[in-house]
A = this chain, B = another copy of it.
């Protein structure tokens, strides 16, 4: 049922690939080379960048493939925490996250073979435990925070520092797969 959707994923994120394969989508990957832009709000930024990425691989899609792209942003008190530039910045990010809630926003875009573009976003609240400086420094030294928005990975060592989430877990990993499935099902009218 799910494997009748042929997805062209415009992302090199191993986590997005893993999520889509986990639920059984047919998958081909063509990373986008679209440059990420910054818009007035985190929500716009996430959606517009997802749309840009989806459109950027349009020429590489087979006639029956649905293009999927996403952009995940970590926001704490209105401040966007991107990928840390070095260990020092990763420590700063984690100090800010410690004991607090932050929001993970994933914008996504689906570009259908008929040219229809459907985009949207999903927000999840994530609460970090209080981390000691020793824990933060140890965690940064593992290397895991360095290539991740917000300087942590929920699907990894970071799991031990997260107290709770409110919302979609897979959204925090980088792709709100339940919402993607709903849209695909709606657009194709398969289930009633």
Contact = CB atoms under 8 A, between A and B. Distances in A.
Contacts of A155: 22
Given A165-B165, A165-B169, A22 B135 contact: no
A1 interface: yes
Pick from A156, A163, A164, A167 the residue with the most CB of B within 10 Å.
Answer: A164
Given A162-B178, A164-B167, A169-B169, A157 B191 contact: no
A177 interface: yes
A19 interface: yes
A138 B23 CA distance: 13
A134 B192 contact: yes
Interface residues of A, number: 34
A23 B157 contact: yes
Contact of A160 (B154, B160, B178): B178
Interface of A: 1-2, 19, 22-24, 129, 132, 134-135, 138, 142, 154-157, 159-170, 177-178, 181-182, 191-192
9 contacts: A1-B138, A22-B157, A23-B159, A161-B178, A162-B168, A162-B178, A165-B165, A165-B167, A169-B169
Given A2-B157, A129-B178, 14 more contacts: A22-B155, A22-B159, A23-B156, A129-B182, A160-B177, A160-B181, A162-B178, A163-B168, A164-B166, A164-B167, A164-B168, A165-B167, A165-B169, A169-B169
